[in-house]
Amino acid sequence: MPRLNVMGELRAILESALDGVPVQVNLPGERPGTVVVVRRCGGARQDALVDSPQVEVLMWAPTEDEAEDIAERVGDAMSRLPFARGFCACEELEMRTDYDYLARSPRWYALYRLKTYQPKEG
């Protein structure tokens, strides 16, 4: 049975929750001033039905306050992931400021452990 497309689902859910903040699965070549990137960074299939991905979320913004606000909104959205879209559980493992010294830009970092399944269609 195929795994849930976690990055695609989270991109859509977070973009909806963040009111116009672009959410990507890869960092664009020219990073906008404000952007969120979602990446699967680990985890493994638990059995034939359940996957346990770890997902990191990186959040850039022009100011530390704006980046922290985005991080809080991401945390809120992650705590309400819909079961109907394939999410069984979400545990926040880490949430911290993570200044991007290369870009000289405020950035926040979050790490989550999820339990997911592939919902049946129709």
Helices (H) and strands (E) in the chain, counts: 2, 5
Nearest CA to 40 out of 10, 75, 74 is that of 10
Q: Which residues contact 80 (CB under 8 A, 6 or more apart)?
A: none
- In the chain, the amino acid numbered 117 is Y
> What beta strand segments (E) does 1-122 contain?
23-24, 35-45, 51-60, 87-97, 107-116
pLDDT at 2: 84
Cα(103)–Cα(36) distance, rounded to whole angstroms?
15
Q: Would you state the pLDDT for residue 34?
A: 96
Residue-level pLDDT, tens digit, the chain, 122 residues: 789 999 999 999 999 999 999 999 998 888 889 999 999 999 999 998 999 999 999 999 999 999 999 999 999 999 999 999 999 999 999 999 999 999 899 999 999 999 999 887 75
Give the torsion through C-alpha atoms of 100, 101, 105, 108, to 10 deg: 20
- Give the predicted TM-score (pTM) of the model: 0.92
| Distance (Å) of CA 75 to CA 14, 60, 68, 71, 91 | 10, 15, 10, 6, 10
Q: Which of 60, 27, 4 minimizes the C-alpha distance to 13? A: 4
